[in-house]
Structure 1
């Protein structure tokens, strides 16, 4: 199973990476109150305190418990509190009730993290155990980076529920210029290899690398802007059933959608990590569902790209963009300086591809096989990362996945079209 995850990195490198990622999770809650970290604003979100505990539970359960002689859990019963969905590990606290966990306190959870960190670092430095657990540590680190993004999106939803519209961080005022003209970048099509190559880290759902037939198509040079999406709204986009998939139109009616999540009724302001701010017309539209992305594409006379069309373009680009390391905490306008922009960062990009296993897909052995494979039903793939994704976490082959009605993540739109 270890060989399926990644090759072992030098112990010094994996120890430094482990510390850096663990410290960043704690830094994300700096300046927040214990109350901020305890409340759960909706079933799809989790309290920040739970994220901090769960990511520690992951290292405790899949590394310490299996590689430390005479291991004893940090606290009895915490495995029940902080297990997420690993049914083969044991029972778990109901997800919708995580916000009721006023105890353990935030301070106790932070102490738990420090204790787990000490034990994991000692195990990494062990000459015998270190090489064995290093790939598992890397998996745990990548898992924690996923939760770092969730911490920001879950906090954003929580703060949006507060009538005072509090900001997580102070951000610069939004610009009011227009986005650079959208251009179409042609791709001739053909048979290309997609998925993660062997060597280096990748989740199991990124493999095996395989051939994919890609038809001739064109991709938009940048993401759809807020100004363009506002034109869609003003043209009756949320009032025209002919633009929507049946389930999407039902969601519009049921949920009362009139704009992207967090937009205000005036279509001039939206809530974000900087609080309630003016909408920046040139910035990428964000917090839209697959249904909204698909409806906009149909309105625009285009479609959403497949994940393989996206990967074919991204494979030719460096992995750089408006990612978490930059600290912008909001989508930024395209610069208009490259043939194709914003493939990485700003917003996760909905694709038209259902989330399924690649030909020959095999999940990891044991309980870790529950990580991705069992969710391959009823979801769609997103690519490219967002403003909340750490730069050393995203890669060309990375596959995110959500249900088509989800929109609380940093989700945006890139258009594609077929030759006329």
Structure 2
């Protein structure tokens, strides 16, 4: 009986591994080899690099330490596809990943198949690697979200506005949204963070710890395109009183006057999407705004951004009025990305996964329409630099209740 259970468990694990890996390949199905080579700025990566890097992760952290006589596919890949693991060795420049015409896309796909065969062989004889495998699969799913955000940016600089996906009809506006209102929360001491052993979580979500919250309120929904357009029409980008100093300085250097993917053509507003250029849908949540833009809008609206602890506490309450928590946009918080009390990174070189980035970045909470379902949890801590907007980031407002 126990042997049968182990065999079934191993088969299920291998099946899940194959599914996650196939999901990445499905994302490039609409793309040409030329599309997979694109890198339009240093923050994004080519599709080909994502496919190779996630494979390198399994080869480096799973196969090389745990599979006897494993032979690497190509020695050069240890440099080409190492993202930021200094403990592993040298990395090729992130900003220049798009210059790598070799290896070809076909070779990268061969690399994936080679590693997949080896991983499945290893899993069939070693049942002690579940935790490491789970990290690798979650890592690949993170990259699947990044792949969609990256190809959107890579396509966005093309003046023909190419579509990644096609739909039978144009995107239409969603049903009119309810008026924005605020949900009150009393002063409380709340437990923040993920509990070990209760499903997968990253090391930066741990450990659980108490946080004292003062009375506050959060908006029932996200800020819409139409509401943000009112900020633009009220000359919000021209008034320094709304902006943090660094945000205002950035505006002066970039001359930005609207969110990243907005275009005003013949006095009509459009938004670039994965479906190409579409009329701006006024009732959809505004997305692809930087922390500076989110903070400025909050100031314009006589509000502020929630802290990540306020956001998590509000989400824990399962209030039916509190909508758009996970299924639209990552939501900027007013919290710096810092370790929780008692934080301990993953043991070994994989400990560089999150902890080394805990400076100069801000936390986003929730999830977005591109986030894999298994990652949509209230404790998830995403993090980006305050000037970045290519990820699918939006705005939820908060206020003090004092």
Same fold, TM exceeding 0.5?
A: yes
CA RMSD, 1 decimal: 1.4
Structure 2: how far apart are the matches of 1:395 and 1:178? 27
Structure 2: how far apart are the matches of 1:251 and 1:352? 19
Structure 1: how far apart are the matches of 2:108 and 2:235? 48
Q: Deviations over 1:217-241 (max 9, x none)?
A: 1110000000000000101110000
- How far is 1:175 from its partner? 3.0
Partner of 1:313: 314
Question: Aligned to 1:196, which of 186, 194, 197?
Answer: 194
State whether residues 355 and 379 of structure 1, in contact with CA within 8 Å, keep that contact through their aligned partners in structure 2. yes
Q: Does residue 368 in structure 1 map to residue 350 in structure 2? A: yes
State whether residues 11 and 134 of structure 1, in contact with CA within 8 Å, keep that contact through their aligned partners in structure 2. no
Question: Aligned to 1:134, which of 116, 130, 135?
Answer: 130
Question: Aligned to 2:363, which of 381, 388, 399?
Answer: 381
- How far is 1:254 from its partner? 0.8
- How far is 1:351 from its partner? 0.3
What does 1:149-164 correspond to in 2, within 5 Å? 149-164=145-160
- How far is 1:193 from its partner? 0.4
- 266-275 vs 382-391, which moves further: 266-275
State whether residues 288 and 407 of structure 1, in contact with CA within 8 Å, keep that contact through their aligned partners in structure 2. yes
- How far is 1:154 from its partner? 0.7
- How far is 1:13 from its partner? 3.2
Q: Does residue 303 in structure 1 map to residue 304 in structure 2? A: yes
State whether residues 194 and 312 of structure 1, in contact with CA within 8 Å, keep that contact through their aligned partners in structure 2. yes
- How far is 1:138 from its partner? 0.5
Q: Does residue 411 in structure 1 map to residue 380 in structure 2? A: no
- How far is 1:418 from its partner? 1.1
Partner of 1:334: none
State whether residues 379 and 404 of structure 1, in contact with CA within 8 Å, keep that contact through their aligned partners in structure 2. yes
Q: Does residue 181 in structure 1 map to residue 182 in structure 2? A: no
Q: Does residue 291 in structure 1 map to residue 292 in structure 2? A: yes
TM superposition outliers: structure 1 runs of 4+ over 4 Å: none
Change (3 A) 1:267 1:251: farther
Give me the TM-score of the superposition, normalised by structure 1: 0.91
- How far is 1:31 from its partner? 2.0
Partner of 2:45: 46
Change (3 A) 1:376 1:273: same
Secondary structure at 1:191 match in 2: strand
Partner of 1:275: 276
Q: Deviations over 1:135-164 (max 9, x none)?
A: 111000000011001101110011111111
Secondary structure at 1:37 match in 2: helix
Structure 2: how far apart are the matches of 1:416 and 1:12? 47
- How far is 1:76 from its partner? 1.9
Secondary structure at 1:360 match in 2: coil
State whether residues 207 and 341 of structure 2, in contact with CA within 8 Å, keep that contact through their aligned partners in structure 1. yes
Structure 2: how far apart are the matches of 1:10 and 1:402? 37
Q: Does residue 21 in structure 1 map to residue 3 in structure 2? A: no
Gaps of 5+ in 1: 1-8, 319-337
Secondary structure at 2:373 match in 1: coil
Partner of 2:332: 350
Q: Deviations over 1:170-198 (max 9, x none)?
A: 24423346422112111112001010011
Secondary structure at 2:263 match in 1: coil
State whether residues 330 and 392 of structure 2, in contact with CA within 8 Å, keep that contact through their aligned partners in structure 1. yes
- How far is 1:20 from its partner? 1.2
Structure 1: how far apart are the matches of 2:71 and 2:114? 12
Give me the TM-score of the superposition, normalised by structure 2: 0.95
Structure 1: how far apart are the matches of 2:241 and 2:181? 26
Structure 1: how far apart are the matches of 2:56 and 2:370? 23
Structure 2: how far apart are the matches of 1:143 and 1:174? 31
Secondary structure at 2:144 match in 1: helix
- How far is 1:310 from its partner? 0.7
Q: Deviations over 1:207-264 (max 9, x none)?
A: 0110011111111000000000000010111000010000000111111110110101
State whether residues 230 and 267 of structure 1, in contact with CA within 8 Å, keep that contact through their aligned partners in structure 2. no
Q: Deviations over 1:30-59 (max 9, x none)?
A: 021000001211000100000000000000
State whether residues 30 and 165 of structure 2, in contact with CA within 8 Å, keep that contact through their aligned partners in structure 1. no
Q: Deviations over 1:263-289 (max 9, x none)?
A: 013461011101000010000000000
Secondary structure at 1:233 match in 2: helix
Task: Give the total of aligned pairs.
Answer: 390
- How far is 1:317 from its partner? 3.4
Secondary structure at 1:386 match in 2: coil
Structure 2: how far apart are the matches of 1:315 and 1:111? 44
Secondary structure at 1:60 match in 2: helix
Q: Does residue 79 in structure 1 map to residue 78 in structure 2? A: yes
